[in-house]
Amino acid sequence: MLNFIYKVEFVTTMNQKVIAVVAIAIIAVVAVGVYLALGQGGTEEKGTGGETFTDAVGREVVAPENLDNGIVAIGSIGPLRILSMFESASKVIECDKGDVTDKKNGRGYSYAWPYDQLTSYHDDNKLESATVDKIAQLKPSLVIVGNNVYSNYKDNVDILAKACTVVVLHNQTMATMWDDNNKLEATLKFNIELVGNMVNEAKRAKEVISGIEGIMDDIRSLKGQSDVNVYVAGVTISGSNTLNTTFPTYLPFKLIGANNAYKGGSTDSRVTINVEDLANKAVVDVDMIVIDPSSSDKVKEIDSQNFLKYFYGLNNDDDPLNDVAMFVTVPIVWDSINYDCALASAYYIEYLLFGTLTQNQVVEKIENIFKVFYGSHGTDVYSKMITFFEGKSADNNVEFPLLAEVVITEKDGVYSFAAA
């Protein structure tokens, strides 16, 4: 909170009452933010004399001349992920709590940059008055806000913009990444270019856009034909999920033209399958399962156990034609913009379905994805991811080696996974 120093003279009982009211009024001003405390009074956004750019909601924002006071990212739908593509990510001094305290899981950017070592953070996707005051006291050079935050806290964003440079990005979704011309979707391209301009790395922004489009072209060139229906399980959205939760829209499937085993018709972000519907081909028609290891902590839950019991029965009966092979893909974490991991999974599923790549080539291409997204900081992202999931899976008594086949095991009526 900002501090106010004022002198009070106690003359009469009436004066005491009046002054008490004044003190309460001052505290109320602090609670609504920084605006009056800074004495701005105008309508111009705070800037330091750099070039002016238009943000996602039409605000004209002056780019900071330097980033010496650091950068704050607010909102999980874009800001920190886009910023992580730039060297200026080293200037981050505060971000959403989830990027500091939650497990890394499939957030490739969290392996590229040590955000979990930050000591300052705020509640996810929120910009309440106390947060406005705290950030204003930090006096950051730049604040990057997601449009979801702007929509919910517009007045507070405007107040904060009186104290420091604030720019708003478009929200991103995992359903849209490219346009009809197979180029980067407009709002994603806009976000990358805007952040590049705001941190004085416009050249790097062009390199990232070109690099991502090149990766998508490469993935498309490796497409083949397959009638295999693939079920995706374990992707994290609003936390980890049981294995009977699947995804009507899964970006790797869209990119390579794979058949989604979910046939139920829902357009929700995720769908929970009743175990009794696993044999109902109108709901799911499963030939292969790819598993995101982010949800290894849900394997022991009853819905996952019933799911595994069903497929264990299929894979251990006398009919080899109904067997369902299972593979561990690259963790994606469905936080709307983990496009790097979506591209990595697309390569792996191409290997599984089409045979247009060797597994060694898949690894090389995945490592290249992280280099395109994070430059030199992406060099060891994949190896760090492997190590992290070895530990997480072991903690949950599950074997989930990345890019490997797994089989269902059973002991004393409890089901789990082991490397094939």
**Tens-digit pLDDT profile for residues 129-156:** 999 999 999 999 999 999 999 999 999 9
Quote the pLDDT of residue 24: 36
Q: Look-up: residue for tokens 């941190």?
A: 199
Tokens of 366: 């995945």
Ranges of the chain whose pLDDT falls below 50: 1-48
Quote the pLDDT of residue 176: 83
Quote the pLDDT of residue 336: 62
Closest CA to 406 of 389, 392, 418, 388: 418
Tokens of 185: 């979707």
Quote the pLDDT of residue 269: 86
- 342 and 283 Cβ atoms separated by less than 8 Å: no
Q: What residues does each domain of the chain span? A: 1-32, 52-218, 225-419
d(CA 178, CA 219): 13
Taking the CA atoms of the chain, what radius of gyration do you get in angstroms? Answer: 25
Quote the pLDDT of residue 1: 33
Taking the alpha carbons of 313, 319, 322, 328 in that order, is the dihedral positive or negative?
A: positive
Name the DSSP class of 366: H
d(CA 157, CA 128): 9
In this structure, CATH architecture of domain 225-419: 3-Layer(aba) Sandwich (3.40)
Q: Look-up: residue for tokens 């399962």?
A: 289
Quote the pLDDT of residue 79: 96
Superfamily holding 52-218:
Nitrogenase molybdenum iron protein domain (3.40.50.1980)
DSSP, residue by residue, 113-164: S-GGG-S-EE-TT---HHHHHHHHHH--SEEEEEHHHHHHSHHHHHHHTTTS
Tokens of 69: 């006071």
Quote the pLDDT of residue 259: 97
- 285 CB-near residues (< 8 Å, 6+ apart): 229, 261, 263
At residue 325, φ and ψ (nearest 5 deg) are -75, 150
Same fold, 52-218 and 225-419: yes
Tokens of 43: 């309508």
Quote the pLDDT of residue 235: 85
Closest CA to 167 of 51, 54, 44: 54
d(CA 161, CA 351): 48
Quote the pLDDT of residue 26: 36
DSSP, residue by residue, 3-65: ---------SHHHHHHHHHHHHHHHHHHHH-SHHHHT--S-SPP--S--EEE-TTS-EEEPPS
